[in-house]
Amino acid sequence: MAAQAKGDMQEDNDTARVTRWSFAPGAETGFHRHEYDYVVVPLTTGALKIVDKEGKESTSQLTAGVSYFRRAGVEHNVINASGGDFAFVEIEFK
């Protein structure tokens, strides 16, 4: 079984939830569904492997400081495919 990514909640209020995710090499979030629209702010540069609900795999190259937005409903497992540690901040809009 792969190592688990570590989520440290930094803020959780009526409007937003902010979580800092840290991944050792090969660590994963486990399959999950996003209940809210969200923004990811990468803190490091590297590759993440994404496995969707059908088992399809893709790789996303993320760059530190280059954010992206996704709508609620995304279902996936996120795996650190970088050679070293990886981290991002996830901001969910309630």
Q: Given this model, what pLDDT does residue 1 score?
A: 66
Q: Given this model, what pLDDT does residue 22 score?
A: 98
Question: C-alpha distances in angstroms, 10 versus 17, 20, 51, 54, 92?
Answer: 8, 7, 26, 32, 12
Q: Given this model, what pLDDT does residue 68 score?
A: 97
Q: How many CA atoms lie within 13 A of 93 on its CB side?
A: 8
Q: In terms of Cα–Cα distance, which of 68, 19, 65, 36 is closest to 50?
A: 68
> Where in the chain are the domains?
6-93
| Structure confidence by residue, pLDDT tens digits, 62-74 | 999 999 999 999 9
Strand partners for 50: 58, 78
List, for the chain, all residue ranges whose pLDDT scores fall below the cut of 50. Answer: none
Q: In terms of Cα–Cα distance, which of 47, 58, 92 is closest to 73?
A: 92
Query: How open is the CA angle 3-8-9, to the nearest 5 degrees?
Result: 140
Q: Given this model, what pLDDT does residue 2 score?
A: 81
Q: Given this model, what pLDDT does residue 85 score?
A: 97
CATH hierarchy code of domain 6-93? 2.60.120.10
